[in-house]
Amino acid sequence: MTSVSGVYGSPPSDLADVPREAIQFSPLIPGAASLDRQPAQSLDAMTLLAPPGTIERRYALALALRALKPGAPIVALAPNDRGGTRLRKELEALGLDVEETSKRHHRIAVARKPAKLTGIDDAVEAGGPRFDDEIGLWTQPGVFSWDRLDPGTGLLIEHLPDLSGRGADFGCGIGILARAVLATGAVSELTLIDIDRRAVECAQHNLDTPRARFLWTDLRDPHPQLASLDFVVMNAPFHDAGQEDKGLAQAFVKRAAESLRKGGICVMVANRHLPYEAVLKPLFKAVTPIIETGGYKIYEARK
């Protein structure tokens, strides 16, 4: 019988061996399988580049353990400063006997699924999707600003211009910004796009309207289907896998310019310290700063 392995994320190849045919389970890799839907005791081995958030990490570890067959090996690794130093204790709390090594500023924890696990249901419950009464939306630990309104998003919502027609929300998160955009009936269609499956699934719950469409995809890839839009809104990311990445926001701006019709607008909020104007100006006919406050800047760029 063939053995079925899983992998979560992209562990550096010098730190962990992952079979080429391993099933990918990271919610940040479009098209990956979903660990929360993987049948219990169906995997023969699992390797995780464990995610940085504590609740998110315990959730991924608990789901991985649930999906493993009894006695099957689990390898979990993380950079020291992104949860690595806590991995051992977290796995021990789930009932595992852990061997830990250290290499290239990572901790690598190796164990086997024991006959008896502890605390799995609590970890799964704590990390799963839930309705948050304070923000009035479905959310999940690990997605962007999962339990609070991001100040940049809040500022953009306050200063949204009148929008109408067909638009897109680039990096939609759980749909906070999109909810404000769709509040006006003049918007006939809004495509919400994010690289995080959990965010897209929450947004689907949150925006139950035929005017909303959803795409789980990487906006760095070309998207010819996003064409002739009247507007694009975005609170563009500037971190990729935890590292500041100015190229990511630049890719978002470039994709917005390609997706808009002539005269269409891109409305975006950005951290003041990032050089967006230089990116926007060559791609748009007119770039207007709308407001600058609290470390954020809002631009309206017309194609």
Ligand X SMILES: C[S@@+](CC[C@H](N)C(=O)[O-])C[C@H]1O[C@@H](n2cnc3c(N)ncnc32)[C@H](O)[C@@H]1O
Should residue 213 be labelled a site residue for ligand X when binding is judged by CB under 6 A? no
Counting other chains too, the contacts that 129-136 makes at CB distance below 8 Å and 24 or more residues apart are 129/198, 129/201, 129/202, 129/205, 135/176
Should residue 191 be labelled a site residue for ligand X when binding is judged by CB under 6 A? no
Q: Determine how β-strand 137-139 pairs with β-strand 130-132.
A: antiparallel
Report the nearest approach of ligand X to the CB of residue 4 (Å): 28
Report the nearest approach of ligand X to the CB of residue 153 (Å): 3
x-or-dash string of contact with ligand X, 156-185, rule CB under 6 A? ---------------xxx--xx--------
For the chain, the maximum distance between any two Cα atoms, rounded to a whole number of angstroms, is: 64
x-or-dash string of contact with ligand X, 220-259, rule CB under 6 A? x--------------x-x----------x-----------
| Two structure tokens written together for 233 | 């809104």
Should residue 27 be labelled a site residue for ligand X when binding is judged by CB under 6 A? no
Q: Give the interface size with ligand X as a residue count (CB under 6 A).
A: 20
Helix (H) / strand (E) element for 122: namely: helix 120-127
Report the nearest approach of ligand X to the CB of residue 192 (Å): 9
Should residue 215 be labelled a site residue for ligand X when binding is judged by CB under 6 A? no
Judged by CB under 6 A, which of 195, 249, 298, 301 binds ligand X?
A: 195
Residue of minimal CB distance from ligand X?
A: 171
Should residue 83 be labelled a site residue for ligand X when binding is judged by CB under 6 A? no
Strand ranges for the chain from DSSP E: 5-8, 23-24, 45-49, 73-79, 99-103, 106-112, 130-132, 137-139, 165-170, 187-194, 212-216, 229-235, 239-240, 243-244, 260-271, 286-293, 296-302
Nearer to ligand X, 11 or 171 (CB): 171
Judged by CB under 6 A, which of 144, 214, 284, 299 binds ligand X?
A: 144
Should residue 199 be labelled a site residue for ligand X when binding is judged by CB under 6 A? yes
Q: Are 37 and 6 in contact (CB under 8 A)?
A: no
Should residue 145 be labelled a site residue for ligand X when binding is judged by CB under 6 A? yes
Strand ranges for 11-116 from DSSP E: 23-24, 45-49, 73-79, 99-103, 106-112
Should residue 56 be labelled a site residue for ligand X when binding is judged by CB under 6 A? no
Report the nearest approach of ligand X to the CB of residue 206 (Å): 11
Should residue 201 be labelled a site residue for ligand X when binding is judged by CB under 6 A? no
Q: Which residues contact 295 (CB under 8 A, 6 or more apart)?
A: 151, 271, 272, 273
Q: Determine how β-strand 99-103 pairs with β-strand 106-112.
A: antiparallel
Nearer to ligand X, 141 or 171 (CB): 171
Should residue 204 be labelled a site residue for ligand X when binding is judged by CB under 6 A? no
Burial class (CB in 10 A: 0-12, 13-18, 19+), 202: buried
Should residue 194 be labelled a site residue for ligand X when binding is judged by CB under 6 A? yes
Judged by CB under 6 A, which of 219, 249, 270, 298 binds ligand X?
A: 219
- Sign of the Cα torsion 52, 57, 153, 166 reads positive
Report the candidate in 245, 253, 246, 193 with the shortest Cα–Cα distance to residue 218: 193
Interacting residue ranges for ligand X, rule: CB under 6 A: 144-145, 150, 153, 171-173, 176-177, 193-196, 199, 218-220, 235, 237, 248
